[in-house]
């Protein structure tokens, strides 16, 4: 009777031991990933709210106009 129970529980014990060995490494991976991801998210939110994006369409029109006119624009100070 006990052999039957032992034979039935042995794979479960092996799986539990494998999981028990795997959990600390998984915890370390999560703890290394979480601070970097959090910092990047907060930095991205800050930049999205406070950074004034340039108007690319307007800038491209200016560049195109300058190239078509054939003259060089003096460097801005």
> Looking at per-residue confidence, does 52 or 16 come out higher?
52
From first CA to last CA, the distance across the chain in angstroms is 91
10 Å Cβ neighbour count for 18? 10
Task: State percent of the chain over pLDDT 70.
Answer: 64
Give the pLDDT score at 72.
Answer: 63
Cα 1 to Cα 75: distance, rounded to the nearest angstrom: 92
pTM (global) more than 0.85: no
Give the pLDDT score at 11.
Answer: 60
């Amino acid at each position: 009777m006990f052999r039957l129970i032992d034979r039935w529980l042995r794979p479960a014990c092996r799986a539990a031991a494998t999981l028990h060995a795997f959990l600390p490494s998984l915890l370390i991976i999560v703890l290394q990933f979480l601070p970097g991801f959090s910092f990047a998210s907060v930095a991205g939110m800050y930049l999205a709210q406070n950074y004034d994006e340039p108007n690319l369409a307007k800038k491209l029109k200016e560049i195109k106009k300058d190239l078509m006119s054939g003259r060089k624009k003096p460097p801005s100070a």
